[in-house]
């Protein structure tokens, strides 16, 4: 099992939590981004992969390389849908877990909101990432990681 992180937009707190867990459990972890990322020097199982610039290049790299029962962290719903289809465990940085039971409705709502924004309607955005989000992520990540490692 590997942990994949869509790292371009992942909050620093998420990267820290994932890196500590990877080190503690000795789980291969890959941060994928369009830029070079620093990884902990004391955690050789954590590495980063820099992909070329372009829309969805990091996402496609993760889809192409993730295997069933891997775990992925992303806020990108189309990427989450592709990974769920491959039986990858998926969580977003706010602690929401995506699976076959909920990904279609989440993707549908995302597309609907995108259409509204396309017509000029302001829909607001996500609230700033805070302590509540960090705690929710840490709890959900721990549960999902335990589940993924038991398979």
Task: Return the CATH fold of 3-149.
Answer: Rossmann fold (3.40.50)
Burial bucket for residue 45 (CB in 10 Å: 0-12, 13-18, 19+): middle
Task: Look at residue 95 in the predicted model and tell me its pLDDT.
Answer: 97
Mean pLDDT within 113-118: 70
Task: Look at residue 113 in the predicted model and tell me its pLDDT.
Answer: 65
pLDDT tens track for 50-98: 998 877 899 999 999 999 999 999 999 999 999 999 999 999 999 999 9
């Amino acid at each position: 099992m590997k942990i994949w992180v869509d790292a371009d937009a992942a909050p620093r707190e998420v990267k820290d939590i994932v890196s500590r867990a990877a080190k503690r459990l000795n789980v291969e972890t890959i941060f994928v981004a369009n830029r070079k990322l620093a990884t902990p020097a004391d955690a050789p199982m954590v590495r980063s992969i820099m992909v070329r610039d372009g829309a969805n290049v990091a996402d496609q790299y993760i889809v192409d390389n993730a295997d069933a029962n891997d775990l992925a962290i992303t806020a990108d719903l189309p990427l989450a849908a592709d990974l769920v289809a491959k039986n990858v465990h998926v969580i977003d940085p706010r602690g929401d877990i995506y699976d076959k039971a909920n990904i279609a409705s989440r993707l549908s709502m995302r597309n609907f909101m995108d259409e509204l924004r396309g017509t000029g309607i302001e829909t607001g955005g996500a609230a700033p990432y805070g302590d509540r989000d960090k705690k929710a992520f840490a709890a959900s990540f721990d549960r999902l990681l335990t589940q993924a490692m038991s398979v």
